[in-house]
Amino acid sequence: MRFASVMAFKRVLIANRGEIALRILRTLRDMGIEAAIIHGREDRLSLPVRFADVAYPIMRSNPLDSYLDIEAVVKAAKDLNCDAVHPGYGFLAENAHFVKRLEEEGITFIGPASDVITLLGDKIEARAAMEAAGLPTAKGSSEPISSADVASSLADEIGYPVIIKAAAGGGGIGMQIVNKADEFEGALKLCQSRAKSAFGDSRVFVEKYIEGAQHVEFQVLGDGKNAIHFGERFCSIQRRHQKLVEEGPWLSDEKRAEIGALVCAGAESVGYKGLATFEFLRDSNGDFYFLEVNPRVQVEHTVTELITGYNLVELGIRVAQGEDLPITQDDVVIRGHAIQCRLNAEDTTNFIPSPGRLWECHFPSGFGIRCDTHAHPGYEMPGCFDSLLAKLLAWGPDRESAIKRMRTALDETIITGVDHLIPLHRRIMDEEDFLAGDITIAYIDEHDHLLG
């Protein structure tokens, strides 16, 4: 690996909490960079706050505001003399205004430029940009649609079913599947009003609904000029369009090289700097359709780290420091198979969050096991944030060995005090379709006997 002589960061502000804050903190330590962190009242005793070199409280009556108040976070970065801010995922990670404010203050945002975030945050624009770069997209509208007549004549052209999605969308909010023309009127109104209240932007668009699809995504790293990819992750086991199990690799070497070249071209076409994930749906014929780019580190980046051996968070920080890509595409070699189970504090029957104090908390270890968590005995799992308690990963030389190792690891995990998804994951690891790799995004709906 090349090490370029650039001005290294001395101190970085982590503008996040939970497992990802700890994940980033560890890498800053490894790199000899001081870790500063902001925190709200609920997190004042959390591990990342206790381990940080310096912690900066931002107390707000609404706990989310501690991590969402742009001016307060910018002030923290200035008061603490930070060279850069790492946003993690969620909160301000995809907020172009936040990135712009940091740019104005001369503080580096560890991620892409604000105009790239603005472009990619708009699904209509992102689709058009990636189509122009040669990526395959589902047939659909290239402009916002507000009339049911226009929508239904478009649907006649591309064929039913279609899906209406918010241009500013995220988290699967507002999406409506339409099977015939007379459903458009109501579905359009519903999607527009959900989009307006969730994102403050009522623009929606229509695209072909891909039936029996799988979710496959590519990990990319760009330095603003060039981009490389780290292969794919398979993330079709989802609840309410949110991932529960992620694994990789999934594709043949040929397909990986083909789609990988396209995503790199896509990233280079927008001058992408930092880590990105290009999400696709793959239909039953094996054809790919670009969905969106997530311009940040993702929860499941860990799967890719286990099968490539690269610390992606470190690479993201290094390109933010101004280094060129320190490795080439040929350096990225996939070895073995990795699976990640998200151990959410949730009820396994209905996925309702289960906050509370952890009385007992023991995580597994051993060869091929990784567990990223901020949880510990006595930890009070708050109800106001994401319910992710731990990410449990197993690596093996092949998928079968990784699954066996995951079963052992799940059996060794002890969490008492809150409900959690370990029983569900344990059942998935024994389920026939899962074992056969016969999995689409409808997996949880089609296997609801596993819940409960």
What tokens does 194 get?
């959900």
With contacts defined by CB under 6 A, name the span among 44-52, 167-175, 307-315, 406-414 that binds ligand ADP. 167-175
Residue 292 binds ligand ADP, judged by CB under 6 A: yes
> Whats the size of the chain, residue-wise?
452
Residue 215 binds ligand ADP, judged by CB under 6 A: yes
| Residue 394 · residue 369 · CB < 8 Å | yes
Q: How far apart are CB 300 and ligand ADP at their closest, in Å?
A: 13
Residue 198 binds ligand ADP, judged by CB under 6 A: no
| Residue 58 · residue 70 · CB < 8 Å | no
Q: Which is nearer to ligand ADP, 207 or 372 (CB)?
A: 207
With contacts defined by CB under 6 A, name the span among 91-99, 202-210, 338-346, 361-369 that binds ligand ADP. 202-210
With contacts defined by CB under 6 A, name the span among 210-218, 311-319, 325-333, 348-356 that binds ligand ADP. 210-218
| Residue 294 one-letter amino acid | N
Q: Cβ contacts of residue 65 below 8 Å, gap of 6+?
A: 40
d(CA 109, CA 12) in angstroms, rounded, equals: 10
Residue 136 binds ligand ADP, judged by CB under 6 A: no
Q: How far apart are CB 166 and ligand ADP at their closest, in Å?
A: 7
Q: Which of 18, 48, 169, 222 binds ligand ADP (CB under 6 A)?
A: 169
With contacts defined by CB under 6 A, name the span among 7-15, 172-180, 367-375, 430-438 that binds ligand ADP. 172-180
Binding track over 227-266 against ligand ADP, x by CB under 6 A: --------------x-------------------------
How many C-beta atoms lie closer than 10 Å to residue 104's C-beta?
10
**Among 284, 273, 232, CA closest to 438:** 284
Strand partners, 277: 219, 294
Taking CB atoms within 8 Å and a gap of at least 24, the contacts of 190-195 are: 191/164, 191/165, 191/166, 192/146, 194/166, 195/166, 195/167, 195/168, 195/169
Q: How far apart are CB 86 and ligand ADP at their closest, in Å?
A: 22
Q: How far apart are CB 295 and ligand ADP at their closest, in Å?
A: 12
Q: Which is nearer to ligand ADP, 281 or 306 (CB)?
A: 281
Residues 138-157 that bind ligand ADP (CB under 6 A): 138
Q: Which of 185, 279, 314, 380 binds ligand ADP (CB under 6 A)?
A: 279
d(CA 165, CA 240) in angstroms, rounded, equals: 15
Q: Which is nearer to ligand ADP, 48 or 169 (CB)?
A: 169
Q: How far apart are CB 171 and ligand ADP at their closest, in Å?
A: 5
Residue 291 binds ligand ADP, judged by CB under 6 A: yes
What tokens does 243 get?
């991932």
Of all residues in this chain, which one has the CB nearest to ligand ADP in the complex? 210
Give the neighbor-by-neighbor strand order of the sheet with 214-223.
288-294, 273-282, 214-223, 227-239, 242-248, 337-344, 388-396, 369-373
Residue 171 binds ligand ADP, judged by CB under 6 A: yes
d(CA 323, CA 298) in angstroms, rounded, equals: 21
Q: Which of 210, 303, 390, 415 binds ligand ADP (CB under 6 A)?
A: 210
Phi (first) and psi of residue 265, to 5 degrees: -60, -40
Q: Which of 38, 187, 281, 338 binds ligand ADP (CB under 6 A)?
A: 281
d(CA 270, CA 435) in angstroms, rounded, equals: 39
State the DSSP string of 384-402. Answer: SS--EEEEEEEEESSHHHH
Residue 441 binds ligand ADP, judged by CB under 6 A: yes
Catalytic residues: 296
Q: How far apart are CB 122 and ligand ADP at their closest, in Å?
A: 11
Binding positions for ligand ADP, rule: CB under 6 A? 138, 163, 169-173, 175, 207-210, 213, 215, 241, 279, 281, 291-292, 441
